[in-house]
Amino acid sequence: LAKTTQPISMDSYEGQEVNITCSHNNIATNDYITWYQQFPSQGPRFIIQGYKTKVTNEVASLFIPADRKSSTLSLPRVSLSDTAVYYCLGREVYSGGGADGLTFGKGTHLIIQP
Amino acid sequence: NAGVTQTPKFQVLKTGQSMTLQCAQDMNHNSMYWYRQDPGMGLRLIYYSASEGTTDKGEVPNGYNVSRLNKREFSLRLESAAPSQTSVYFCASNEIAGVGVKGTQYFGPGTRLLVL
């Protein structure tokens, strides 16, 4: 599974767009890029997943360039409730050989201020 | 649907005591997982169960045992608790739709364990 590197912390303000970039230089062909969000005292929650180019859902957008060595999670118009830890993971496509436990790093602690 | 539920929410143990953490999911998922999260760290996989009747070790299995009781339930047992096992424990489940298909893991609310 790809080893990922992301900033330890970021600050922003309500109403701003926030972009969190993750580096994954050794990403494998079978790896998807997946982002999870974790609030204090809660389990992680899936946000978005992609393989290449751009993916958008109701929560966020994910941009993955052609070389797939990095990805950017974009949160539009953040609010105070977006304060959380965001994890970027390299996720291998399930091959049927066993379980697919996730490999979490320390994540990015995003703090949104009024 | 309740999703993934865990009991207890919080537990204090003395060194050497044993306990079982319970996890259940009502989403008919095949795969279930136990993770631990230490302060300021990401989650680390302890054990997993790809399907009912099977279990296997993850990254940090020492000091733990698991039981996949049925498709819904996956328990984690500490036979002789140690202070190093003080952590937050998360259970998760995953719908594996098939080979080559990515799945999303759903996490429970966690069990906070303090070993004195």
What are the pLDDT digits (tens) for A43-61? 999 899 888 889 999 999 9
pLDDT tens per residue, range B33-46: 999 999 878 888 89
Q: Name the pLDDT band for A29 (thresholds 50, 70, 90).
A: confident
| Model confidence band, residue A103 (pLDDT cutoffs 50, 70, 90) | confident
**Using H for helix, E for strand and C for coil, what is the string for B14-51?**
CCCCCEEEEEEECCCCCEEEEEEECCCCCEEEEEEECC
Query: Pick from B42, B49, B104: which is nearest to A46 by CB?
Result: B104
Q: What is the mean pLDDT of chain A?
A: 87
Taking CB atoms and an 8 Å limit, are A98 and B50 in contact across chains?
yes
- B-side interface with A, Cβ within 8 Å? 4, 31, 33, 35, 40-45, 48-50, 56, 58-59, 90, 92, 94, 96, 98-110
Position B97 pLDDT exceeds 80? no
The pLDDT, as a whole number, for residue A108 is 96
Mean pLDDT along residues A78-99? 76
Max distance between CA atoms of chain A, in angstroms, equals 48
Q: Provide the pLDDT for residue A2.
A: 59
- Residue A3's pLDDT is 75
Query: Greater confidence, B62 or A25?
Result: B62
| Contact yes or no for A110/A85 (Cβ under 8 A) | yes
Residue whose structure tokens are 């952590």 = B87
Contacts of B45 in chain A (CB under 8 A): 101-103
